Amino acid sequence: MENLTLPAKLQKVIDFFSQLPGVGPKSSMRYTLLLSNWNEEKLLSFGQSLKELTKLEKCYRCGLFSEGDLCHICQSSYRNQMKVICVVESLSDCLAIERAQQFKGTYHILGGVINPLLGIGPDELQIDKLVGRVLNESIEEVILALNPSVEGDATCSYLKQVLPEGLSVERIGFGVPIGSHLEYLDSMTINKAFENTTIIE
């Protein structure tokens, strides 16, 4: 197998699959060969679906998927009246919390955490926008649902400093070790984490 040169058409697709997390060379090859057996209509439809991803819209307020300027959560008067924003690192964390169906306010996707080693400072994240939202939307409470890590901790401290004084800033409590990620937690664990928030001093 090692010495066999694959047609470039196959190799290109294999290389794309290899870029996905958890997909090794063997799986990439298997998926590509399976796709190559699909009929033309199905392949073209798949290609078109991928193309549509370039047009994916995001909510200008929170960063979640949307079919217009605002996502369905930001459009909901019920969720806005809670005056609570849950701050998350990524879209996938937001979806994990939403699956758990406990949090009823709106979200704010930071786009990562402060990480000097990777050159990610506050300006690279949606922090100014968060502060603006807190003021403009008369937010009463901010819940930080950042993953437990050194960078997550540092980001929480930074946010507490830049958010308006007097605002309630809490962080969800994890009954799980450092390094765990929200997107891999089950809904029950996420609900527990929201029940066990701690106030950031």
Which residues form the interface with Zn ion (CB under 5 A)?
A: 59, 61-62, 64, 71, 74
What dihedral do alpha carbons 76, 124, 91, 96 form, nearest 10°? -100
What single-letter amino acid sits at 146?
L
Least CB distance to Zn ion at residue 178 (A): 29
What is the DSSP code string of 41-109?
Answer: HHHHHHHHHHHHGGG-EE-TTT--EESSSS-HHHH-HHHHTT-EEEEESSHHHHHHHHHHT---SEEEE
Q: Kindly tell me which of 109 and 144 has the beta carbon lying closer to Zn ion.
A: 109
Least CB distance to Zn ion at residue 61 (A): 5
Is 114 in contact with 158 (CB distance < 8 Å)? yes
Q: Kindly tell me which of 64 and 113 has the beta carbon lying closer to Zn ion.
A: 64
Q: Kindly tell me which of 74 and 84 has the beta carbon lying closer to Zn ion.
A: 74
What single-letter amino acid sits at 94?
C
Q: Kindly tell me which of 14 and 73 has the beta carbon lying closer to Zn ion.
A: 73
Least CB distance to Zn ion at residue 135 (A): 17
Least CB distance to Zn ion at residue 43 (A): 34
